[in-house]
A = this chain, B = another copy of it.
Amino acid sequence: MENLLVQKYGGTSVGDAERIKRVAERIKSYYENGYKLVVVVSAMGHTTDELIALASQISENPPKREMDMLLATGEQVSVALLAMALHEIGVNAVSFNALQIRIRTDSTFTNARIEKIETERLLQNLEQNKVCIVAGFQGVDAEENITTLGRGGSDTTAVALAAALQAKECEIYTDVDGVYTADPNKVKGARKHEVISYDEMLELASLGAGVLHSRSVEFAKKYGVILHVRSSFNFNKGTLVVPEEQMMEKLLVSGVTLKTDEARVSLTDIPDRPGIAAEIFSALAAQKINVDMIVQSTGKDNKNTISFTIPAKDLRQAREILELLLKQWGTGSVSFDENIAIVSAVGVGMKSHSGVAASMFRALADRGINIEMISTSEIKISCVIAKDRGREALQVVHDVFGLHEL
């Protein structure tokens, strides 16, 4: 639909009655400019956390199906209230939960994937000039059980709707102005991007830039949905997330990020035989421990060294798993380091330019910052350094790629 906008408002934007009214006013301004609107809303403020706390009073490990049944109520409250706020200012609006518009997902409760959206009911209501308010974050499986899409899943709901309805654009409203070259609270000279590619956004998202849910970006890439990340507190243009082909100029580096909640694990003198890595990482995965960077150095004397990073909060659990493995192998040792930070540079321009990694390593070396681990992808370079040098390293890397001059 030519003049169709999908807008998504996060939990902060609808945190209380006053904010919901402000969002309604914003929607009205688009409505009066002739747009058709489908609006996706998250649960108010801390609702989801409160519901989780309630469940934990009853069970330490509640069935996931029931968890989703519980959590889905948060978004249903938001959509009803936003529809009320729109009626109050004379805009005809109608709210829907996932069951009502059949946002079909698989049955992976608490982390479901959208498979299909039926658009009939939405199209009907859009034709009647109604604003459609849709509960984000939730879906239904083939048996009509309620599912949820995981944290940040409302972004994915919005993108999936934009794809299904062939919307002009999918606006993601957050409390920041757009996507920055680095966190402006941490880096002097950080700038907002006007445009960024899906892949860069994906790397930045997975590095904790935190503006967008990774899965929503994958979805947008797959279906070519133009994302517009912008603030709900002003009318400034934010950042467009687009296919790489549409980017006029490809930056060598488009963003730098810092992660300080990871820990490094090193396994040394372990057997050098096929399947060792699989054994380690399957054991960690079975306990849902997310491994980030992995570096394996060449073995000698049939011994091997593997280092990787995991969330610091999972250290204790990882230690138990790994010590068990060492016991089984009868060889090797394990060490842990919580005093680390990961500084990363992301940019599609890296694909075609050599020397990016070298510039980054040189800049860090010039400041006497030691690099403990390196991992690279096509469009990303990550270095593990000492935690107390993290902020400084972030600024150094931002500076060396001239991001303040964009």
Contact flag A84-B58 (CB < 8 Å), given A69-B76, A70-B77, A77-B51: yes
- Of B70, B79, B81, which contacts A81 at CB under 8 A? B70
Contact with B along A65-101 (1 / 0, CB 8 A): 1110110110011011101110110000011010110
- Of B67, B76, B88, which contacts A73 at CB under 8 A? B76
Give the chain B neighbours of A274 by CB distance below 8 A. Answer: none
- Check if A33 is an interface residue, CB within 8 A of chain B: no
Please tell me if the beta carbons of A58 and B85 are within 8 angstroms of each other in the complex: yes
Say how far A18's CB is from chain B's closest CB, in angstroms.
Answer: 8
Please tell me if the beta carbons of B100 and A144 are within 8 angstroms of each other in the complex: yes
- Check if A252 is an interface residue, CB within 8 A of chain B: no
- Check if A247 is an interface residue, CB within 8 A of chain B: no
Give the chain B neighbours of A81 by CB distance below 8 A. Answer: 54-55, 58, 66, 70
Please tell me if the beta carbons of A21 and B76 are within 8 angstroms of each other in the complex: no
- Of B55, B62, B80, which contacts A66 at CB under 8 A? B80
Give the chain B neighbours of A324 by CB distance below 8 A. Answer: none
- Of B63, B80, B144, which contacts A84 at CB under 8 A? B63
Say how far A78's CB is from chain B's closest CB, in angstroms.
Answer: 10
C-alpha gap A34/B178 in the complex (Å): 60
Say what secondary structure dominates the interface of chain A: helix
Please tell me if the beta carbons of A65 and B85 are within 8 angstroms of each other in the complex: no
Chain A interface bracket (under 10, 10 to 19, 20 to 34, 35 or more): 35 or more
- Check if A20 is an interface residue, CB within 8 A of chain B: yes
* Copies of this chain, count: 2
C-alpha gap A62/B17 in the complex (Å): 13
- Of B67, B77, B79, B94, which contacts A80 at CB under 8 A? B67
Contact flag A77-B73 (CB < 8 Å), given A58-B88, A65-B94, A88-B58: yes
Contact with B along A34-63 (1 / 0, CB 8 A): 000000000000000001001101110011
Please tell me if the beta carbons of B66 and A95 are within 8 angstroms of each other in the complex: yes
C-alpha gap A95/B109 in the complex (Å): 14
- Of B69, B84, B95, B100, which contacts A83 at CB under 8 A? B69
C-alpha gap A72/B135 in the complex (Å): 14
Please tell me if the beta carbons of B17 and A54 are within 8 angstroms of each other in the complex: yes
Within 8 A of B (CB), among A187-228: none
Please tell me if the beta carbons of A21 and B58 are within 8 angstroms of each other in the complex: yes
Give the chain B neighbours of A85 by CB distance below 8 A. Answer: 58-59
Most buried by B among A79, A81, A88: A81
Say how far A102's CB is from chain B's closest CB, in angstroms.
Answer: 10
Please tell me if the beta carbons of A70 and B59 are within 8 angstroms of each other in the complex: no
Q: Which residue of B lies closest to A84 (CB)?
A: B62
C-alpha gap A51/B76 in the complex (Å): 12
C-alpha gap A145/B125 in the complex (Å): 13
C-alpha gap A94/B69 in the complex (Å): 10
Most buried by B among A17, A63, A79: A63
Say how far A312's CB is from chain B's closest CB, in angstroms.
Answer: 30
Give the chain B neighbours of A97 by CB distance below 8 A. Answer: 69, 99, 146
C-alpha gap A84/B58 in the complex (Å): 7
5 closest residue pairs by CB, A with B:
A17-B57, A70-B80, A73-B73, A69-B80, A62-B84
